[in-house]
Structure 1
């Protein structure tokens, strides 16, 4: 991908150190730019409505609204972002639930950051990784 400007990213995870690591990882990519973070589900929905990111990296386990409900709400936005789930839950039911909720990509925590970046780029290109 070689956009004329970086794609905008919202990071959603309830663990601050994970958000910090993701920000560090993404800021190293010329075609991606972090425009915001959220630490719970409701904050994620509100920040997405305010910032209009092109992609949201979303954890499943969040205080308040879980990641699945956040994804459903984001997909109802007039210009819905691509959604890539980043989670420790990698079993088939978790994947299916994520894609049913509106995921465009899915990456497992601990499987390597490059997998996440690949999933983000595929989601932005409109290719579901289901």
Structure 2
């Protein structure tokens, strides 16, 4: 495992902030902590099983595209229940969730090491 201090050093994150992140990731079942010699933090699943969408959902809650839905509640919008823009926004959010779910930690690590291509926009 990696100690919190080692992770802080590698990432450049302040330890108190890192501690909060690790607690969230642990709560989401993405990392485990081991005590004692050789202890520290380890992934709770294989890198092939952890998706970018899982990490973001753990840190931020379910992935949404902002709070576009908010004005469309409680009669605040004349088009409540049949707003075309809200429908488009919901579809875009679903595309984003699916796209982020395509990236596993293993895929991201390969791209970072240069052994796999970086994601690109295809026009």
TM-score, structure 1 as length reference: 0.25
TM-score for both structures, normalised by structure 2: 0.26
Which is higher, the Rg of structure 1 or of structure 2? 2
